[in-house]
Structure formats: structure tokens, C-alpha cells
Structure 1
């Protein structure tokens, strides 16, 4: 879906109401802006977290030693705690 919005001289833009509603931003909120080679991507913080979790899962799937808890336990064991 592509929507054209206008950016004012002071840098403000408005997201259409139906998009804000779908993203859970109807009453306001925050978005993260990522500049990519293809352009600009807007994500809600929840979308950014879900994306990061999916990326981490690709690298850690099936590797029980890749969890944060396993890392901390290993560091404690190595340091003699």
C-alpha cells in the first residue's frame, strides 16, 4: 500500500487516520524511522521489537546455548561465581 502525504516546511507530516488506526496510533504515539537503500520505513516500537525477535530467532533457533540465560550461566561458570 502506498499513500502520498505532504511534508510541511517545518518537517511535519500526517499519517492518514485509517493507517494510524491499524497501527494502534489513533490517539497518538511514536514510530521509528529507518532509512534504507530503497527509501524510508516507518515502524511502531512493537513492530520493531517483533522484527528484531524474528531476526534473533533465525540465528538462535535450535541452539539452546544461544539464550541470554545460557550466556549468563556460562559466564558465571567461567568466572567461578
Structure 2
């Protein structure tokens, strides 16, 4: 009997499998394409009510971030790519003045 259950379609369907990690949770997308972000995830990210999120497709992964988290990530990326030290605004003004002087 156990052999039958192990080989049945229900036992091998993704819905029958436990969540692989403690920080993951299975969600269901309804007919309209909506999904519910689990309460423990919303609490962890301080998401309330009808707050907007930023969604990004990364390969076979959908990543959701709060707008503040997305902004912080962009700022960190910009910091890593920045060449010099000091103000980016001051650097921009210097470049424009040098460009104007050449004209």
C-alpha cells in the first residue's frame, strides 16, 4: 500500500511536497493572476494595506521588494560603480563646466 501512495500522482505533485526552507512558503495564484503575500512575510517587511511593491524578474525567479528596499539597492549599486569620492552632483557640475569650456 505504501508503494502505491509513493508512486501516485498526488504524492509526486508539487503541492504534496513540503516547503524546502523555513523562509519559504507556498502560495497559490488565483484565476485573476493574484497571489496573497503571507502575513509573516508582510510583517517582516512592514508591508501594510494596499502598499505598492516593486516586482522584478530574475531568470526563473520573481523578486518582490518594497520601494524603499529597491531604492536602497539602486543606491548601493551606484556607490559601487562610482569612480571618485565626494559628491556626485559636484562631479556632474565639473564635467558640464569642462564640456562648456571646450565648446
Match 1:56 to one of 74, 78, 88: 78
Q: For 1:71 and 1:65, locate their aligned partners in 2 and report how far apart those are by CA, in whole Å.
A: 11
- How much is the aligned-residue C-alpha RMSD, in angstroms? 2.0
Give the TM-score taking structure 2 as reference length: 0.65
Unaligned runs of 5+ in 2: 1-22
Relative to structure 1, the CA distance from residue 43 to residue 22 in structure 2 (aligned partners, 3 Å threshold; closer, same or farther) is same
2:40 aligned with 1:45: no
Unaligned runs of 5+ in 1: none
Q: 1:15 Cα deviation (Å)? A: 0.7
Q: For 2:94 and 2:77, locate their aligned partners in 1 and report how far apart those are by CA, in whole Å.
A: 23
Which stretches of structure 1, 4 residues or longer, exceed 3 Å deviation after superposition?
A: none
Q: 1:38 Cα deviation (Å)? A: 3.3
Alignment of 1:1-81 (within 5 A): 1-60=23-82, 63-64=84-85, 67-79=88-100
Which one scores higher on RCO, CA 8 angstroms, separation ≥ 6?
1
Q: For 1:6 and 1:14, locate their aligned partners in 2 and report how far apart those are by CA, in whole Å.
A: 8
Q: How many residues are aligned here?
A: 79
Q: Determine helix, strand or coil for the equivalent of 1:64.
A: coil
